[in-house]
């Protein structure tokens, strides 16, 4: 079999060992391993990269530890607004959904948009109506409830601030300058040599005005091109939008002939960081090379291939 590779992330930010109990750390690592295995099994059985990244992301969306799907954070109105996107590196087809509620697995809706809508991005109630038409699973509001997420929201709901995920507890109010990111994603190379990328998020705690970040924006939070690489991002979305991060990695490979790691390092450390953009990304190229690149203290991440690599991690080096 040709080389197959899958990488996943579950968010980045100020994630330090002192913040997690041994039990919680194990839960995160177990969740990453499960998602990684879900995607890898599809690749190992000869499945395609699109199916692999969707399945890995579904596993993360279904895990309340991660800020996507069931683990989505509360908005200022006490609701859940979900974003997701997926891209096929072979055809450059993409599907994205923004600001939807009651969708159990937004990544599956994004894939349905790619295949069946004739469009790339659908939003809010229109996207939900399309989901119902396509038979995408709809769940009640309380499916997304967790005490942990509710308490996060209660601490700041009467303020003008928002909170990104993976935030250390502070004695003071959270400020907009504290950048902690919660998103999930997967990238894969299948045995046919095709790439795919998928990303999903619940956004920011206490977000207002229907705010949308980089996750559903093709080229910013998600990108895949068989000429170069597949990329899924996690970070402070406004910076990733302005820097067009995912596409920029691909561009550096295509037009400057940088390696995957060189391109990722340049964007994450030399472009994003001076702007104030904290976070990271996962990427894989057509040769099976991979990068788990971040400029924050930690990033929930994992990678597995058929060359003997199988690892998950949380903290920085």
Given 14, 75, 161, 183, the catalytic residue: 183
Highest mean pLDDT among 13-22, 175-184, 219-228: 219-228
Residue/partner pairs of 40-46 with CB below 8 Å, 24 or more apart: 40/4, 40/6, 40/304, 43/4, 43/5, 43/6, 43/188, 43/189, 43/190, 43/191, 44/4, 44/306, 46/1, 46/191
Which residues fall within 8 angstroms of residue 120, CB to CB, at 6 or more apart?
Answer: 94, 95, 96, 113, 114, 218
Average pLDDT over residues 87-104: 97
Catalytic site includes residue 228: no
Which residues fall within 8 angstroms of residue 247, CB to CB, at 6 or more apart?
Answer: 219, 220, 223
Q: pLDDT confidence of 179, banded at 50, 70, 90? A: very low
Q: What is the pTM of this model?
A: 0.93
- What's the pLDDT at 170? 38
Higher pLDDT, 286 or 206: 286
Instruction: Say whether pLDDT at 167 is over 80.
Output: no
Q: pLDDT confidence of 176, banded at 50, 70, 90? A: very low
């Amino acid at each position: 079999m040709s080389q197959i590779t899958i990488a996943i992330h579950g968010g980045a930010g100020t994630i330090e060992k002192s913040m997690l109990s041994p039990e919680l750390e194990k839960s995160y690592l177990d969740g990453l391993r499960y998602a990684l295995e879900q995607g890898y099994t599809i690749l190992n059985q000869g499945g395609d990269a699109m199916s692999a990244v969707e399945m890995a992301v579904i596993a993360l969306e279904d895990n309340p530890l991660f800020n996507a799907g069931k683990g989505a954070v509360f908005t200022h109105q006490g609701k859940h607004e979900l974003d997701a996107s997926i891209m096929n590196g072979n055809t450059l087809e993409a599907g994205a959904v923004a600001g939807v509620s009651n969708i159990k697995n937004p990544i599956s809706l994004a894939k349905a948009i790619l295949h069946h809508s004739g469009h790339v991005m659908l939003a809010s109630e229109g996207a939900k109506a399309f989901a119902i038409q396509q038979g995408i699973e709809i769940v009640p509001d309380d499916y997304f409830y967790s005490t942990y997420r509710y308490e996060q929201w209660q601490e700041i709901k009467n303020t003008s601030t928002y909170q990104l995920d993976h935030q250390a507890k502070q004695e003071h109010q959270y400020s907009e300058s504290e950048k902690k990111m919660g998103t999930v994603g997967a990238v894969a190379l299948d045995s046919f040599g095709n790439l795919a990328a998928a990303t999903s998020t619940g956004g920011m705690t206490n977000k207002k005005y229907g705010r949308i970040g980089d996750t559903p924006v093709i080229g910013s939070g998600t990108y895949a091109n068989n000429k170069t690489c597949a990329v899924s991002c996690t970070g402070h979305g406004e910076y990733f939008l302005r820097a067009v991060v995912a596409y920029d990695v691909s561009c550096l490979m295509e037009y400057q002939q940088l390696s995957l790691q060189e391109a990722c390092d340049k964007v994450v450390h030399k472009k994003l960081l001076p702007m104030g953009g904290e976070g990271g990304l996962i990427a894989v190229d057509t040769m099976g090379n991979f990068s788990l690149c971040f400029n924050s203290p930690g990033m929930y991440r994992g990678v597995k291939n058929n060359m003997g690599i199988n690892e998950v991690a949380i903290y920085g080096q």
